[in-house]
Amino acid sequence: MPYSSAGSISINRAQISTVMLGFACIITVAQLLFEGLSKWIGGLGLGFGVPPSQ
């Protein structure tokens, strides 16, 4: 019986590390998407006749 409890503990640790890794990937992808979107919106703003500050 102690063997099964130790096995479940190791499985939980693996699940936690997997969830943390997935979270890091999601955050990185979200940051990249946000940067790309803000650059694209800035480019659209320039394209639609927003006068440059110079």
Domain range summary for the chain, segments of one domain joined by +: 1-45
Buried b (16+ CB within 10 A) or exposed e, 18-28: eeeeeeeeeee
**How far is 51 from 14, CA to CA, in rounded Å?**
54
* pLDDT at residue number 40: 83
Instruction: Give the pLDDT confidence of 1-54 residue by residue, as tens digits.
Output: 455 556 666 768 888 899 999 999 999 999 999 998 888 887 776 666 555 555
* pLDDT at residue number 13: 82
| Whether 32 contacts 39, CB under 8 Å | no
Q: Which residue reads 């890091």 in tokens?
A: 24
* pLDDT at residue number 3: 58
* pLDDT at residue number 2: 52
Q: Count each helix (H run) and each strand (E run) in the chain, helices first.
A: 1, 0
